Amino acid sequence: MKKKEKLICPICGAASFQTVFKYAEPPQGEIRFTCSSGGHYYREILRCATCSHCVSKHDMDLSCLYGGDYVDSNYGDEKGIERSFNRIISLDASRSDNAGRTRRIVDFAASFFGTSLPHRTHLTLLDVGSGIGVFPYAMKKAGWDCTAVETDERAVSHARQAIGVNALHGEFMSVEGLGRYHLVTFNKVLEHVEDPIAMLGKSRANLLRGGFVYVEVPDGEMAEKGGKQREEFFIDHLHVFSFASTVCLSKRAGFAPVIVERLQEPSSKYTIRAFLIPQT
């Protein structure tokens, strides 16, 4: 890594950072991706002195990650996707991150929309970076009409055939004709992209009037207390958020936060979640 490069916080724009962790080898539990499993491994986690946002800096090329390597390394193949999907949806609600997420969103939506929507309105959802489709599956069961966007064709096929939801293959930033929805969701997605502000901001065009956005990101402030082995700091996370940087992200993307809260999920992940509405 080029240690003398001038860093600017991608969230708040400040130029002062502190080193949090250094890695000379992959931490225990980190997935061995093609781009990080051979050769020299060195990276640093740096924290913005202004908003406490963390970034991962290294010289490894992660461009292969979402061209198939992510699914290959995590699930193996289509059968692996199916096995993982079935295992997760079979978890008891008390042990399932997704069950808590779904319940929280459904409850918020009921309160948020109240009587503002016509009777029997069919609520619609666009899930960006849907992975193996566990969340769209649960929201469909809750009565929502779900559309998923995913970069891996195998995951898209799984969403269409096994879950029965509309699924589109491609990058959210470049897919055209997505339409508008009552809700757009980013579940553990924004930490994986170079410019989370641009991605979140683009979702404004996909919201129906009166709709909202839901965001989940890793909570670096809480995870840091657990040390450098925490999965929140694994190599596929370009960003690890703070409470302040989540609020800043929302506002710079053109949203007003309605609720921002932190929690530790059943899986032990430290998470910040936010419900956002477009700024007028």
84-108: pLDDT as tens digits: 999 999 999 999 999 999 999 999 9
- The answer to the question of residue 12 being in a domain is no
- Note the pLDDT tens digit of each residue in 246-269: 999 999 999 999 999 999 999 999
pLDDT at 70 over 90: no
Q: Which helix (H) or strand (E) holds 273?
A: strand 270-278
Q: How many helices (H) and strands (E) does the chain have?
A: 8, 11
- The answer to the question of residue 10 being in a domain is no
Structural domain span for residue 76: 17-278
Is the distance from CB of 33 to CB of 73 less than 8 angstroms? yes
- The answer to the question of residue 172 being in a domain is yes
Q: In this structure, which amino acid lies at residue 86? A: N
- The answer to the question of residue 39 being in a domain is yes
Is the distance from CB of 41 to CB of 22 less than 8 angstroms? no
Q: Number of folded domains in the chain?
A: 1
Do β-strands 54-58 and 43-48 pair in parallel, antiparallel, or remain unpaired? antiparallel
| Cα separation, 231 vs 150, whole angstroms | 22
| Cα separation, 212 vs 180, whole angstroms | 11
The owner of tokens 């879950």 is 163
Q: Who contacts 176 (Cβ-Cβ below 8 Å, separation ≥6)?
A: none
Percent helix, percent strand, percent coil in the chain, to nearest 5: 35, 25, 40
- pTM, rounded to two decimals: 0.93
User: Any bridge partners for residue 255, and if so which?
Assistant: 278
Is the distance from CB of 167 to CB of 161 less than 8 angstroms? no
pLDDT at 201 over 80: yes
Mean pLDDT of the chain, nearest integer: 92
Strand-by-strand arrangement of the 17-23 sheet:
17-23, 43-48, 54-58, 239-240
- SS3 at position 233: helix
- The answer to the question of residue 248 being in a domain is yes
| Dihedral sign computed on CA atoms, order 168, 240, 76, 73 | positive
- The answer to the question of residue 217 being in a domain is yes
- The answer to the question of residue 44 being in a domain is yes
- Note the pLDDT tens digit of each residue in 147-182: 999 999 999 999 999 999 999 999 999 998 899 999
CATH number at residue 170: 3.40.50.150
The owner of tokens 């930033």 is 173
Longest dimension (CA), the chain: 60
